[in-house]
Amino acid sequence: MSVMRHGAAVYGYTCGWNRRVSVSVDTAIGLAISHDNGLTFQRIGDGPVLAASLHEPCLVGDGFVRVIGGLFHMWYIFGTGWKKFSPDAPPDRTYKIGHAVSKDGINWVKEEARQIIADRLGADESQALPTVIDIEGRYHMFFCYRQSFDFRSGSDRSYRIGHAWSDDLANWTRDDDDLRLDPTPGDWDSDMLCYPHVFKCDGKVYLLYNGNEFGRYGFGLAELET
């Protein structure tokens, strides 16, 4: 759930999961609004505000929303399809990061199927959980990425934290080696770093993230060195 204040309300963008028959899951993005400072939320309707479309056929989710220059910006993931990587294995999903804008936070215009972050691992790289922050006039995105298949059993194929930057919110340069966050050998985040969330507090920049097995053994807080 991505939460943000908007006027006197708090907007919460959710990622709803539903089961399928031929594949394991599909997702869409919903919106719930709080009018009591985040104590309770009410869905604005029974359907999503962002979902699959002609060129984004599945797995629309992980929406991160901020208002910049009076315009709502959402960074989210969209599925490019399902693929069987071995005859005996179920199909695995691949998804990329996209961008949409809105005047009211409800009705969105997507940059349909435009992958805004370049691949590092090739076409079968999955990218998830984008989170964006302005640091000294430049926008920085943190996200997690992995191989699309067999990523649960080997640390060399599992989630890592990626990074990209932009000066115009439209064109992004991937630079994982800058602002790099590495696994800790032998510790709770030795095999997996995933699900980042970046934020500012008391003039400092922090990054929350989950460790091994999607956070089963803990989650961490990293501080940006200046």
Task: Give me the CATH number covering residue 181.
Answer: 2.115.10.20
pLDDT at residue 154, as a whole number: 63
Split into its structural domains, the chain has a count of: 1
The residue to which tokens 């805004």 are assigned = 116
User: pTM score > 0.85 for this model?
Assistant: yes
Establish if 77 belongs to a structural domain. yes
The residue to which tokens 């009018």 are assigned = 35
Establish if 12 belongs to a structural domain. no
Establish if 173 belongs to a structural domain. yes
Q: What is the pLDDT of residues 137-172, one digit of tens each?
A: 999 999 999 999 888 766 788 999 999 999 999 999
Q: What percent of the chain has pLDDT over 70?
A: 99
Q: What b/e string do you get for 30-62 counting C-beta neighbours within 10 Å, with b at 16 or more?
A: bbbebeeeeeebeeeeeebbbbbeeebebbbbb
Q: What is the mean pLDDT of the chain?
A: 95
Establish if 50 belongs to a structural domain. no
Residue numbers of the domain that contains 215? 58-223
Mean pLDDT of 201-221: 95
